Amino acid sequence: MEMEKHIFTMLVDNQPGVLSRVAGLFSGKGFNIESLVTAETDTPLISRITIVTKANKPVIEQIEKQLNKLVNVIKIRDVTGPEAVKREMALICVKARPEHRGEILRIVDIFRCKIIDIGLEHYIMEVTGDSDKINALLKLLRPMGIKKIARTGTMALIREPN
Amino acid sequence: MKLTGSQIMMEVLKSEGVDTIFGFPGGAVLDIYDALDKTDIRHILVRHEQGAVHAADGYARASGKVGVCLVTSGPGATNTVTGIASSYMDSIPVVVITGQVPSHLIGNDAFQEVDIVGITRPCTKHNYLVSRIEDLAVILKEAFHLARTGRPGPVLVDIPKDLTSASIEFECPKDVRLKSYNPNYKPNMRQLKKVVQLIQEAKRPMIFSGGGVILANASKELTEFTHKTRMPLTSSLMGLGAFPGTDPLWLGMIGMHGTYRANMSTSECDLLISIGVRFDDRVTGKTDAFAAQANIVHIDIDPTSIRKNIPVSVPIVGDCKISLEQLNRLIDEIDLGDLSKRRGEWLDLIEQWKNTNPLAYTQDEIIKPQYVVEKLYELTGGEAIITTEVGQNQMWAAQYYHFNKPNHFITSGGLGCMGFGLPAAIGAQVACPDKMVVDIAGDGSIQMNSQEMATAVQFNLPVKIVILNNGYLGMVRQWQELFYEKRYACTSMEHCPDFVKLAEAYGAIGLRAVTPEEVSPVLKEGLSIPKPVIMDFTVAKEEGVYPMVPAGAPITEMLLV
């Protein structure tokens, strides 16, 4: 059966151990996690977790039901479709030899990144966008030499009805 | 009123109607035990914490109430894990209270410290570490609520020692509000109407019921539904007793050791109405071949059970009892015509299967284990509560004791936990002091929790233990015989204790039968003694459980030897 990528976003109780319940569910049942993002919401008692996973259709159905079954999961939505906006952020440290600096800055401009740290031999840039955009950027930067990278994984938020 | 954490616990337990606790004291729960001692709650002191959880499990199954355990931190807590996992697999409502080292020592590798909440996260319905005394009462209330509602299951509450002695102003919380937990009891009527439609159209319909029917207390409704529609019925191991095992529509158990007719019917039916089941691999065998000709209806309280293992045509999330009540009402509104005519051909075919391959064994000069179970059935009039260990003893109990009532067959179905039967029998006997409670055991598995004999004797619990003693870990030996060319690696119990003397050493009664003629007299005598009794039956060493479906094969591919 064909593997599908799905993005789930959920509101959970902001308590110790809740992330472990969610992550443990995935490891215990052999589900896959591509990325997982979590932080407190505007209400301190509630956190939002967004998970990107890949599986065939019946397993996706199970993942959603199993997450819903966790007592600390208040609400879960599959936000794979266009009803939600998705963003990921990455911090990329790229080698910046003098002969490459101009090219890197052009790429930064095109991708609307921000240089947030600069040294004799490197730039650290900040980029947000969907995962494809970040992957495309990385592809272009790779020839210059990527020293380090930190990615957040996908966050998602459902659009308000118009 | 100012109360200590321990006193608060007692108040909540009383408000939940708890009259019995199975437990084992220790350092971290001294204050709780001190408070418990001042209440009317009965405490059954087990000999191993695993036994406490199995006993609470047996108590819960026999009584329909929540079973409660109390153990100390560290090893006390880890010893409960097997029991908790067994209750989790079988959806049994149990609340396990574990002591924890004082809050300020948590994380310090303190004496008898273990992260039991972390350890039991995947095998509890939910669990808690209480971090503030203000939350204690609410959490305990939530624990009972979670354990008994929706799909029931074990809930663990870990309580640091300092909270049990600290005091606060106490008011018992009335209702439990969990914003994220709302089990759906009411089935969708449109889906139920589809089921009725399918019943009208089906030529070879049948029912497959499971433990969910017993948990939902829906045996009466199931029996009514079956009789109204005249559909033959099979059940999983966990479902035995929900429908009378002596009813003409009863097919016997389904699955790996199911009856020939139950497995054949499942394969040939065109409508399979599954109620309160979860399509375990021991039931389905090869899933692609399972009920391959049938429209499958699946009614269950837990949405995750549906389409987990088997694709279904009509999924229904709801309580088994309410769903069956509604189905019965809908069936009353339609005319199914002359059912004996309509089902005639289908039931005749099933009767043929029954006659060609019935459950059978030959009783010769050595006692056959099946014979012991049959005699036990006769002598108890089918009225006993039967618990089992795990393995051949469990399957023979399931096959040859015809369960006519729910809550009378108590077995570790999902986890398959050896050592379950004796403590579960103790729990069942506590719940039902006037019932005959018999643990059908093997010589291997009885040794996994035989220390609980002391508990039975101390608390005057007259449980009966029937050991089908074949000198082997019989079920594993059977697999070695069939699939490993009789290489009996490490399954021979070359040394067992003398079980008669073991019983006597505990202050119980021990009896033994070695010839078939002795079976009935020994059973009669043993069952008549109002004390714990071990009856040791020397049975045929290499008797197998049949039919048997090899693991992963379609359930129609049965070995019938």
B121 and A20 within 8 Å at the Cβ level: the answer is yes
B180 and A21 within 8 Å at the Cβ level: the answer is no
More confident residue, B494 or B77: B77
B307 and A28 within 8 Å at the Cβ level: the answer is no
DSSP B512: E
pLDDT in tens, B532-557: 999 999 999 999 999 999 999 999 99
pLDDT in tens, A120-136: 999 999 999 999 999 99
Residues of B in contact with A21 (CB under 8 A): 121
Q: Give the distance from residue B146's alpha carbon to the nearest chain A alpha carbon, in angstroms.
A: 9
Interface test mutation site (partner A, options B130, B180, B278, B305, max chain A beta carbons within 10 A): B180
Q: Give the distance from residue A150's alpha carbon to the nearest chain B alpha carbon, in angstroms.
A: 29
How confident is the model over B134-141, as a mean pLDDT?
97
Domain spans of chain B, in order of start: 2-169, 189-356, 369-538
Domain spans of chain A, in order of start: 4-78, 85-154
Tokens standing for residue B315: 């999924």
pLDDT in tens, B5-25: 999 999 999 999 999 999 999
* DSSP string over B155-191: EEEEEEHHHHH-EEE-----S---TT-----SPPHHH
At residue A162, does pLDDT exceed 80? no
* CATH fold for the domain made of B369-538: Rossmann fold (3.40.50)
How confident is the model over A84-112, as a mean pLDDT?
96
Instruction: Please report the pLDDT score of residue B174 as a whole number.
Output: 84
pLDDT band at A161 (very low <50, low <70, confident <90, very high): confident
Catalytic residues of B: 49, 111-112, 161, 475
B117 and A69 within 8 Å at the Cβ level: the answer is no
Instruction: Please report the pLDDT score of residue B152 as a whole number.
Output: 98
pLDDT band at A71 (very low <50, low <70, confident <90, very high): very high
Residues of A in contact with B181 (CB under 8 A): 71
Chain A's closest residue to B303, CA to CA, is A65
Q: Give the distance from residue B95's alpha carbon to the nearest chain A alpha carbon, in angstroms.
A: 16
Q: Which among B122, B126, B304 is the nearest to A24, CB-wise?
A: B122
pLDDT in tens, B236-249: 999 999 999 999 99
Instruction: Please report the pLDDT score of residue B340 as a whole number.
Output: 87
Instruction: Please report the pLDDT score of residue B121 as a whole number.
Output: 97
The widest CA-to-CA distance across chain A, in whole angstroms, is 56
Which CATH architecture is the domain B189-356 placed in? Answer: 3-Layer(aba) Sandwich (3.40)
Chain A's closest residue to B178, CA to CA, is A71
- What ipTM was estimated for this complex? 0.93
- Mean pLDDT score across all residues of chain B: 97
Q: Do domains B2-169 and B369-538 have the same CATH topology?
A: yes
User: Which of the listed CATH numbers 3.40.50.300, 3.40.640.10, 3.30.70.260, 3.40.30.10 matches domain A4-78?
Assistant: 3.30.70.260
How confident is the model over B177-193, as a mean pLDDT?
95
Q: Which of B112, B111, B82, B113 is nearest to B96 (CA)?
A: B82
In chain A, helix, strand, coil percent, each to 5?
30, 40, 25
pLDDT band at B182 (very low <50, low <70, confident <90, very high): very high
A58 and B122 within 8 Å at the Cβ level: the answer is no
The dihedral through the CA atoms of B134, B138, B139, B141 has a sign that is: positive
* CATH fold for the domain made of B2-169: Rossmann fold (3.40.50)
* Burial class of residue A92 in the structure, from the number of CB atoms within 10 Å of its CB (0-12 exposed, 13-18 middle, 19+ buried): buried
CATH number given to A85-154 = 3.30.70.1150
Chain B's closest residue to A21, CA to CA, is B121
pLDDT in tens, B95-136: 999 999 999 999 999 999 999 999 999 999 999 999 999 999
At residue B561, does pLDDT exceed 80? no
At residue B265, does pLDDT exceed 80? yes
Chain A's closest residue to B115, CA to CA, is A17
At residue B30, does pLDDT exceed 90? yes
CA atoms of B544 and B360, how far apart (whole Å): 11
Instruction: Please report the pLDDT score of residue B473 as a whole number.
Output: 98
The residue with tokens 């508990």 is B455
Instruction: Please report the pLDDT score of residue B375 as a whole number.
Output: 98
pLDDT band at B400 (very low <50, low <70, confident <90, very high): very high
pLDDT in tens, B270-291: 999 999 999 999 999 999 999 9
Instruction: Please report the pLDDT score of residue B1 as a whole number.
Output: 85
Of the CA atoms within 13 Å of residue B561, those in its CB half-sphere come to: 10
The dihedral through the CA atoms of B70, B73, B79, B82 has a sign that is: positive
Q: Which among A28, A58, A74 is the nearest to B122, CB-wise?
A: A28
Instruction: Please report the pLDDT score of residue B219 as a whole number.
Output: 98
Pairing of strands A4-13, A46-55: antiparallel
pLDDT band at A1 (very low <50, low <70, confident <90, very high): confident
At residue B296, does pLDDT exceed 80? yes
Percent of chain B exceeding pLDDT 70 equals: 100
Instruction: Please report the pLDDT score of residue B294 as a whole number.
Output: 98
